[in-house]
Chains A and B, each alone.
Chain A
Amino acid sequence: MLEKIIEIANRLCEVDDVELNEDTSIISDMELSSLEFMAFVAEVEGMFNIRIKERELRKIDTLGELTELVEEKLA
Chain B
Amino acid sequence: MKKLINLTMFDLLKGVAMLGVVFGHSFGGENAVLGDVVGKILYSLLMPAFFVVSGYWLKKKEIKVGVKTSFEYLFVPFVIVVLLINLVGLGHRLLQNDISSWLNEFLIPSLLVSTAGANRVGPMWFVFALFLAWCLFYIVISIKNQKVQWMLVLLAAIIGGALMPFKLPFQIAQGLVAFSFVYCGYILKKKKLLDAKQHPLVYIVMFLAWICTVVFGSMNMYAYDVDYGIVSIIGSLCGALIIIKLFLYINLLEWYVLDGIRWVGRYSMWFLCIHAVEHAVFPWKILFRFVEQGTVIGSLTQFLLRLIFIIVGCIVFQNVQRYWIRRKEKSKL
Residues of B within 8 A of A54 (CB): 8, 11, 259, 262-263, 266
A-B pairs with the 9 shortest C-beta distances?
A: A46-B325, A31-B59, A54-B262, A35-B73, A46-B322, A58-B8, A33-B57, A58-B6, A57-B8
Contact, CB under 8 Å: A46 / B267: no
Partner of B266, one of A33, A38, A43: A38
Chain A residues in the interface with B (C-beta under 8 A): 14, 26-27, 31-39, 42-43, 45-47, 49, 53-55, 57-61
Residue from A35, A37, A42 in contact with B7 in the complex, judged by beta carbons closer than 8 Å: A37
Residues A33 and B73 in contact, CB atoms below 8 Å apart: yes
CB neighbours (8 Å) of A45 from chain B are 322, 325
Q: How many A-B residue pairs have CB under 8 A?
A: 77
C-alpha spacing A37/B324, complex, angstroms: 18
For A66, the closest partner residue in chain B by CB is: B7
Chain B residues near A59 (CB-CB < 8 A) = 6
Task: Give the residue among A33, A39, A61 with the most B Cβ atoms within 10 A.
Answer: A33
- Contact in complex: B7, A27 (CB < 8 Å): yes
On whether the beta carbons of A26 and B7 are closer than 8 Å, the reply is yes
Give 6 A-B pairs besides A55-B259, A60-B7 with Cβ atoms closer than 8 angstroms: A26-B7, A34-B10, A36-B73, A42-B325, A46-B322, A61-B6
Contact B324 A46 (CB under 8 A): yes
Q: How large is the interface on B (under 10, 10 to 19, 20 to 34, 35 or more residues)?
A: 35 or more
Decide if A33 touches B6 in the complex (CB within 8 Å).
no
**Measured CA separation A58–B57 after assembly (Å):** 15
> Of B5, B69, B263, B266, which one neighbours A36 at CB under 8 angstroms?
B69
Contacts of B58 in A (CB 8 A): 31, 33
Check A43/B7 contact, CB under 8 A, given A34-B53, A37-B57, A38-B269.
no
Residues of B near A43 (CB, < 8 A) are 325
Most buried by A among B57, B267, B269, B326: B57
Identify which of residues 47-95 in chain B touch chain A, using a CB-to-CB cut-off of 8 Å. 53-54, 57-59, 61, 65, 69, 73-74
Residues 246-275 of B contacting A (Cβ, < 8 Å): 251, 254, 259, 262-263, 266-267, 269
* Contact between chains at B69 and A46 (CB < 8 Å): no
Interfacial chain A residues near B262, Cβ < 8 Å = 54-55
Which residues in B have their C-beta under 8 angstroms from that of A27?
5-7
A31 near B8: Cβ-Cβ < 8 Å: no
